[in-house]
Structure 1
């Protein structure tokens, strides 16, 4: 299974790691951490050196109850940083974490390679047509509601069936528009309780029936630190454990804050398979 990123065919049959770079002041773990160009470039360098295939840049916080910002502010935060990073790392494959079609369009035009949409096109009716025109890989995530309302929308008739139906419908819409490279993200922490997150991970392999690469974003999330009764800053070991489970159940991309440790998971499991 491959995706085409700016003319580069990325083989996802071997799992890849996507590093997270948040440009928001209020993200749950690293909000406001990167305050200047030097800090940003240093973090990107560390992620690439540690083995990240992609760097996912977000300028709109999608944590529960996050503050809503206007599109102009999202673009103001995002576009100069894309230019800064590409100037320093010309071969980098940047993913833009946005649910807005115009942010996606301007991000790709600035040099990004793929779009990561928490809403699978449901929060902007122009997103799927825009992706079709841009001809870039598209990550669609499962979520109900918005970041401001999702935690009040955790009722499911059957969690896994509902998620499979959701993706079947969204994938069909994408294919109808000619979008070829689709990656699915089941949305850990989005409109799901802690128990539902663990149920989702337990049955993650069911999503393989959709015949799409699976991205998992478990990094330092509340399902880990609430279960362990610690804090996001103490959740790296728990993240590594659950990333390992996700890989064993078919994840093709790990979206993480800590690239080195995620790459170690990939390397060790690849070695295990090779024996």
Structure 2
């Protein structure tokens, strides 16, 4: 009897192990023009909010389930989304091709300062130094808001007592996507990826919003235009996450 029980548990354990192995999508990413493998291609499972990157041979593996969507991005190449299928998980590795982008540089205009020797005149030609600052509302567990206008404080304080405040308008439409923020912050691969990027592409894919809406969210959370333009994607993620946590806190207190 003991032998049968032991055999039963071994079979169960083997079945579980096989099932766990089947939950990994294996693949190779290559350049569509010459078939050469691409190293360090960024791959994110948009459903499970986990990430990885290809090795020197262009190979990768990532936890995935049928119908999960993988987002692949690489500098100089067109990003794509790939749906994970049962056949892919069952039969092994898949080859994924990325297509190169044609890059065009924007025109850059350099303005030379023409000094006159008169301080009152010359000082007006010096670019304005970013004087954004942050303040904190008592009772909120945040590092504070970054002010971008003289009326920001009254705007934020007023919104706390307004049932249709800007936080509700911003986050209320996409609660499922916003819940991914916590997972994104916990995944080291995604954090490292976002820290090196400034194109907002990965954030848009993960949160399922376009660039205009993304910038509007950060702006409505009272981060300055300068911050929005210069911050890397990880800083934008942290800004939105902090703002969302405050939104949930305010909703609970109402």
So what's the TM-score if we normalise by structure 1?
Answer: 0.21
| Rg (Cα) greater in structure | 2
> Which structure has the higher relative contact order (CA within 8 Å, separation 6+)?
1
So what's the TM-score if we normalise by structure 2?
Answer: 0.22
